[in-house]
Amino acid sequence: MKIDWNVVDTILNNITFYTDTHDRYTLYAEYRKNKNCLEFYPIDSNEFHSCLRIWYRHVSGLRSTPNVGEILQYIKDESNFFEELKSVEPQARIAGNLKDGIEYFLADPLRQVIAIRDGRWELTSASCFKFLSTRNFGSQVVPQANNEDLLDLLAKFTNLQGDNLTLFAIWFIQAFSGGSHYGIMLSAERGSGKSTLTKAISKLLDPSEVDTSLLQTKLEDFQNYLANHYLATFDNVREIPTDFSDTLCTAITGGTVAKRKLFSDRDEVRLKLHNTVILNGIGIFPKESDLAERFLYFKLEKLKPEQSKSDYELKKLLEDSRPLILGCVFDLLAKASTIRKKLRPKKPTRMNDAYAEMLAIAIAMGLSETEFDRLITENTKQLNKACLGSPIVQAVTEYMNGPHAGKRKIVESSTHFYEKVKANYSGPKSDLFSRSAEFSKALKAECATLMKAGFSSLVDDTGTTGSTITIIRNKN
């Protein structure tokens, strides 16, 4: 079908085009659609393609449309010719920071935002930022003002208690700021509710069709995932490769990564990374020191039978609690925003901006700076202990240096090895999990750390009668 370019020009007169600040090859279209709300999509998105076809039929009076690809190429050619095309930095879910003001995008049909300014929050359709809708975006409920206690509401979805629950709540509230954030590690054995908590955070902070993800195997896929999500959640993590660890460091503090647009050219595409990151898994994750300094660590205990809830019960509870939790979060953020403007933290830290915002939130919750600093210090101690003193490594080392001190190599079934190691372990037996299968899985993840302790390990789970564990004492 031949294109009527007069019709195309009529359509394009009602669209404003932008280029990406970080990637000049990516173009965005801003136009009015439902209920006269401004829409903002990449021109290569299915949403924009659909709108072009509808508009063409409407303007031309025809019931068929030409090849949209030709129209898109025309738009791209025009944008490359005009140097004055305005560049923008599209936002995913949250923009701004506690000091200058925050906007939280609900991604609802009216494209409303929660704007936090001057010590208060309001629901509005007038945004100062360009929020990008993607296929994975889920809409958020409208927050409900209430007098509930946030700690009590969050306690329904996690078995964290005391200081750990308080610090988790402070982290969770600060994650609604567009500034830098600590990542969190949820370390626990099977049946502790770590995946349930991760999904609940995702639903509350950044609703998406993909609420959790496995750690990708290719670095490029990993970077693309981070670039397309505000909240990056990774389930059942066993090991973080060094190049992935470096990328996570960039994503947590904010930055860009460059890659070639095509293998056949030299042009670079820059991906903007700025994420809130959650990692969960059984056992302790091997960590680079740079990454460890950007994380808070929470160890979840195994749920008691009376604490367990069905998926239906948890889903219903979350849907009922979500407006209340969000109302509490935005009330505290509004209060903390006035505190942050006057705050001068006494303790400098590598994550200074995140620390300062969390401190302002802690004060808004009634804590002193000394109390908040104690929470962070204690958490750092827990993380360091976990990183440097894995109970799996300690247990295997104690076992090999005990009854098998003279042997260079032992080969045991995983069940027998687990029972003997657990019986010989000097620490809390709960550190070593309740089942040999979980112990074996954690042992696989600790190969590098165990190597530093002087032992090589192999878990062979290819057999038909169960897995076999081999431990070899390395030569000096």
pTM of the model: 0.78
pLDDT (0 to 100) of residue 225: 86
- Window from 203-212, 259-268, 438-447 with minimum mean pLDDT: 259-268
The secondary element (H helix, E strand) that includes residue 245 is helix 242-253
Q: Could you tell me how many residues make up the chain?
A: 476
**Is residue 94 a contact partner of residue 275, using CB atoms and an 8 Å limit?**
no
Collapsing DSSP to helix, strand or coil, 58 comes out as helix
CA 338, 340, 341, 345: dihedral to nearest 10 degrees?
150
Q: In whole angstroms, give the CA distance from residue 206 to residue 65.
A: 36
DSSP 93-141: SEEEETTTEEEEE---TT--EEEEETTEEEEES--SS-BPP-TTB-PPP
Range of weakest confidence among 36-50, 64-78, 274-288, 365-379: 274-288
pLDDT (tens digit per residue) in 284-334: 554 555 777 788 989 887 777 777 778 888 889 999 999 999 999 999 999
How many CB atoms neighbour CB 457 within 10 A?
Answer: 17
And the tokens for 149? 């206690």
Alpha helix locations (H) across 343-426? 352-364, 369-388, 391-400, 414-424
Distance CA 68, CA 8 (A): 10
Average pLDDT, integer, range 265-277: 74
- Name the band, by pLDDT with cuts 50, 70 and 90, for residue 264: very low
Say what percent of the chain tops pLDDT 90. Answer: 37
Give every CB contact of residue 374 below 8 A, 6+ residues apart in sequence.
none
**For the ranges 4-18, 28-42, 229-243, 434-448, the one whose mean pLDDT is highest:** 4-18
pLDDT the model gives residue 190: 72
Q: Is it the case that residue 400 has pLDDT exceeding 90? A: no
CB count, 10 Å around CB of 81?
Answer: 8
